Amino acid sequence: MVQDVPRFPSVEEDLAVIVNEDVKASDVLLAIQRAGGNLLSSARLFDVYRGEQLGAGKKSLAYALSYQAQDRTLSDKDIEKIRSKIIRSLEANLGATIRK
C-alpha cells in the first residue's frame, strides 16, 4: 500500500506519567488517544519504570507522542493545548501525575 508523503511536519514529544500499579498501560493509552483527538497522530508506550522514588504501589509509564495536522504546520500553542487536554484527562480520569 502506498501512502502520500505528509505535506506538513509532525511534532514528536515524550510524556511520562506516574499512576497506581493497578492502572493498565492500555487504559492510559486510550485516555491519551481520546484526549489528543485527531491532531494526535500516534501514541506508543516505550518505557515502564518502578522504583523506590516513585513510592509504594506506583509506576511510571512513558509514551512517545506524535502530533500532525493535514492542513497546516502545528504551532507551539497548538501542541500546548493538546498536551494540556491530555494531562487534564489523565489526572481527572486515572489519578495520574506528570513525571518531571
pLDDT digits (tens, 9 = 90+) for 35-89: 999 999 999 999 999 999 999 999 999 999 999 999 999 999 999 999 999 999 9
Task: Evaluate whether 94 touches 30 at the Cβ level (below 8 Å).
Answer: no
The CATH number fitting domain 11-98, selected from 2.160.10.10, 3.30.70.380, 3.30.460.80, 3.10.129.10: 3.30.70.380
Q: Terminus-to-terminus CA distance in the chain, angstroms?
A: 40
User: What is residue 100's predicted lDDT score, i.e. its pLDDT?
Assistant: 84
> Taking residues 16-23, what's their average pLDDT?
98
Query: What's the predicted TM-score (pTM) here?
Result: 0.91
How far is 15 from 66, CA to CA, in rounded Å? Answer: 11
Residues 60/25, Cβ–Cβ less than 8 Å: no
